[in-house]
Structure 1
């Protein structure tokens, strides 16, 4: 698996058109190491995923759609890593589902809505200002639903 990560990292480096200095700075920022060969498999996976997300956002590679469902442990870990504003977006989204205003409460559905609203591919990539925009949009959606419900 390590060889696959290394090869993918170098392919993504080319697709992102990173200079050697920029590439090493990226590695250093993510892992504290300046070479993928000196990294653990976990660090290589982290770098690969980060670069994949960058390449997807820049449009130099197609977005991956092969996401596996989260296990309970992964979900708990992701929830704990989410910022308070991200958790607020989730809470509002799930409340809209309970109120019958959102048919599909899944992460994929939320991420699709987030992409339409603020142009980032997933909630976890939203900036603070974008999260504020999302929260206000969800609150307005709730208000409209209450007026028509």
Structure 2
């Protein structure tokens, strides 16, 4: 039977995993896939403590950072903040960003907008390089810039991943669900004019088709 101390530690781990999920912007399928792959169960309630620690370690490797003191600035959990973090992790997955951590993202946001945390991306900032729209919403600026950065890498990465999907299909390694993801990816026509969102849709489906629902562990 678990002791009171073990139960308290277990409760703490559950809270931390939930915080990490929220801050990394994980949807339900991705979250469950991580629990199963790292902890051996699709639910925290049925997972042993060592499994929870493995899940938490994995989420830390993807950019989640523990706050050391209660006085630290609270991280934003709004839609824009989740988009920015998701784009940052995608760029890390594509090899464009070396450091996926929150600290590295904060430094990037500060360079772009003059504010020192994703939480403070509200309001507008002056963009000297844009003659048609000098003043732009900070969140919009960061998101658009990250998407443009992603488009330098996504088309080539998609070509490579399509080859991998073809190879796994020929070997009979795709499940029915993975074949459906592959179908959606291959049916979507892509050219530079369709933009980031269409490319990201294809990338996500190809990644699911090869069994990689979330960026791999960073070194």
Bin of the TM-score, shorter chain as denominator length: 0.3 to 0.5
**TM-score with structure 2 length normalisation?**
0.32
Bigger radius of gyration among the two: 2
